[in-house]
Amino acid sequence: MTRNKKLAAWVEEMAALTTPDRVYWCDGSKEEYDRVMKIAVDEGVSIPLNDKTLPGCYHFRSDPTDVARVENRTYIASRTQDEAGPTNNWIDPVELKKIMTDLYRGCMKGRVMYVIPFSMGPIGSPISKIGVEITDSPYVVTNMHIMTRVGTRVLEILGKDGDFIPCMHSVGKPLAPGETDNGLWPCAPLDKKYISHFPEEHTIWSFGSGYGGNALLGKKCLALRIASVIAREEGWLAEHMLILGITSPQGEKRYIAGAFPSACGKTNLAMLIPTVPGWKVECVGDDIAWMKFGKDGRLYAINPEAGFFGVAPGTSMQSNPNAMKTIDRNTIYTNVGLTADRNVWWEGIGYGAPGKLVDWTGKEWEEGKTDKPAAHPNARFTAPARQCPGIDPSWEDPNGVPISAFLFGGRRPSTIPLVHQSFSWNHGVFLGSIVGSEVTAAALDLAAGTVRRDPFAMLPFCGYHMGDYFRHWIEIGKKGSAGELPKIFYVNWFRKTADGKWLWPGYGENSRVLKWVFERCGGAGDAVETPIGYMPTVGAIDREGLAGVSDDDLKELLAVDREGWKKEIALIKEHYAKFGSRLPKELTDELAALEKRLA
Ligand code: OXD
Ligand code: MN
Q: What is the pLDDT of residues 342-374, one digit of tens each?
A: 999 999 999 999 999 999 999 999 999 999 999
Q: How far apart are CA 434 and CA 466, in angstroms?
A: 12
Rounded Cα gap, residues 555 and 535, in angstroms: 11
**Residue ranges around ligand 1 (CB below 6 Å):** 213, 262, 287
Q: What pLDDT score was predicted for residue 448?
A: 67
Contacts of 31 (CB under 8 A, 6+ apart): none
Ligand nearest to the CA of 263: 1
At 90, phi and psi to the nearest 5? -130, 135
pLDDT at 34 over 50: yes
Q: Please give the angle made by the CA atoms of 517, 518 and 520, to the nearest 5 degrees.
A: 65
Nearest CA among 140, 168, 152, 207 for reference residue 382:
140
Ligand 1 centre to CA of 484 (Å) is 30
What residues have CB less than 8 Å from 238, skipping those under 6 apart? 223, 224, 227, 228, 230, 231, 288, 289, 290
Reference 152, options 28, 281, 37; nearest CA is: 28
pTM: 0.97
- Which of 107, 167, 187, 264 is the catalytic position? 264
Q: Encode 513-535: b = buried (16+ Cβ within 10 Å), e = exposed.
A: bbbbbbbbbeeebebeebebbbb
Query: Is pLDDT of 375 > 90?
Result: yes
Can you tell me the distance from the alpha carbon of 72 to that of 584, in angstroms, rounded to the nearest whole number? 27
The protein residue whose alpha carbon is closest to atom 6 in ligand 1 is: 262
Q: Cβ(561)–Cβ(415) under 8 Å?
A: yes
Q: Which of 195, 219, 220 is the pocket-test mutation for ligand 1 (most atoms within 8 Å of CB)?
A: 220
Share of the chain above pLDDT 70, in %: 98
pLDDT in tens, 409-427: 999 999 999 999 999 999 9
State the Cα–Cα distance between residues 402 and 285, nearest whole angstrom: 14
List, in order, residues 6 or more apart from 532 with CB less than 8 Å away.
417, 420, 560, 565, 594, 597, 598
Please give the span between the terminal C-alpha atoms of the chain, in angstroms, as a whole number.
Answer: 67
Q: At what angle do helices 585-598 and 466-479 cross, to 10 degrees?
A: 80
Averaged pLDDT for residues 446-454:
81
Atom of ligand 1 at shortest range from CA of 261: 4
What DSSP character marks residue 17? H
How far does the centroid of ligand 2 lie from the alpha carbon of residue 213, in Å? 9
CA distances (Å), 547 to each of 222, 275, 504, in order? 44, 12, 11
* 206-230 pLDDT tens trace: 999 999 999 999 999 999 999 999 9
Stretch 467-479: mean pLDDT, rounded?
A: 97
Cα Dmax for the chain: 74
Q: What is the pLDDT of residue 441?
A: 58
Starting from the CA of residue 71, give the closest ligand. Answer: 1
Residue 134 · residue 217 · CB < 8 Å: no
What is the C-alpha separation between 489 and 135, in angstroms, rounded? 41
Binning the chain into helix, strand and coil, the percentages to the nearest 5 are 30, 25, 45
d(CA 497, CA 548): 14
Question: Phi, psi at residue 392, to the nearest 5°?
Answer: -75, 140
Ligand approaching nearest to the C-alpha of 69? 1
The β-bridge partners of 150 are: 118
C-alpha 44/C-alpha 269 separation (Å) is 36
Ligand 1 closest atom vs CA 219: 5
Ligand 1 pocket test, candidate residues 287, 435, 458, 461, most atoms within 8 A of CB: 287
User: What per-residue confidence (pLDDT) applies to 443?
Assistant: 47
Nearest Cα residue to atom 1 of ligand 1: 262
Report how far ligand 1's centroid is from the alpha carbon of 382 (Å): 13
Question: Which backbone phi and psi does 254 adopt, to 5 degrees?
Answer: -135, 155
What number does the ligand 1 atom closest to the CA of 240 have?
4
Q: Residue 223 carries which DSSP code?
A: I
453-470: average pLDDT: 97
Q: Which helix (H) or strand (E) holds 28?
A: none
Q: List all residues 6 or more positions away from 201 whose beta carbon is below 8 Å from its beta carbon.
A: none
Among 71, 143, 242, 262, residue to substitute to test ligand 1 (most atoms within 8 Å of Cβ): 262
- Specify the residue with its C-alpha closest to ligand 1, atom 5: 287
How many angstroms does the Cα of residue 260 sit away from the middle of ligand 2? 8
Q: Which ligand is nearest to the CA of 289?
A: 2
Over the stretch 264-278, which tens digit does the pLDDT of each residue have? 999 999 999 999 999
* DSSP-derived secondary structure for 255-316: EEEEE--TTS-HHHHHT----STT-EEEEEESS-EEEEE-TTS-EEEE---SEEEEE-TT--
Percent of the chain with pLDDT over 90: 95
* Active-site residue flag, 264: yes
Closest CA to 27 of 158, 164, 157, 152: 152
For ligand 1, what atom is nearest to the CA of residue 287?
5
**In terms of DSSP bridges, do strands 242-247 and 203-207 run parallel, antiparallel, or are they unpaired?**
unpaired
pLDDT tens sequence across 376-387: 999 999 999 999
